[in-house]
Structure formats: structure tokens, C-alpha cells
Amino acid sequence: MSLGFKLYSYFNGNLVHKDSLGNKYYYDKNNSLKRWVVYAPGFGPESLPTQFHNWLHNTSDEIPSFDQEENIQESLVKRRVQKHSVKHKETNKKGYNSWQPK
């Protein structure tokens, strides 16, 4: 995340919510339909709960609240992140498999 974007978020955005993973959700002070998220370090789009994904894409105007369900949502997101994590294949000494014509 660039310093410029963090400054833009601080001066031009209203913080709506910060979830338990550390993601911060904003909307523009001048245009409430412009919404964005600042991801926590080590997380990406797969760390978004479904309700906030809908809010970010203007499918829903209701700001989600997870007072009671936060632990359940957090476990679902962590499973999703684990599922999408890159698993590196075992490589040979060269680091790649060269193509051999038949």
C-alpha cells in the first residue's frame, strides 16, 4: 500500500469499519458511492467477508455489523485465505522443467 493512498484515505475518506483482521473500510466524503478498502498486511481480496464485498460494490447500502458473528466470520475468512494461498510445487535443481520434444 503506497503512502499516497494512505494519505488520500486519511484526508478524503470516512472510516466506516475496521474488522478483526485489520482491514479498513472507507467511503469518500464527497461521494458516498465511492468506497474502498485498505487491506491489512498479508491479506488481499480473499480476506473480505461477503457482506463487505457487497457493500464495496454498491450492491447493498447497509453497513454490515458483526457484533455477534465476528468470530464465525473471521474463521470463514481465514479458511478462505488458506484455501487460496499459493502452494509451491517441488522443483528440481534448475528451478524449472525444460521442454523436451518427442
Q: Is 100 a domain residue? A: no
- pLDDT of 98 over the 80 cut: no
More confident residue, 67 or 14: 14
Verdict on whether the full-model pTM lies above 0.85: no
Q: Is 31 a domain residue? A: yes
What's the CA gap between 15 and 65, in Å, rounded?
14
- For residue 89, what are the CA distances in angstroms to 17, 24, 46, 85? 38, 34, 22, 13
The predicted-structure confidence for 53-94, as pLDDT tens digits, reads as follows: 888 888 877 777 655 566 666 777 777 777 666 555 554 566
Q: Is 87 a domain residue? A: no
Q: Is 90 a domain residue? A: no
Q: Which domain holds residue 65?
A: 3-82
What's the CA gap between 46 and 80, in Å, rounded?
7
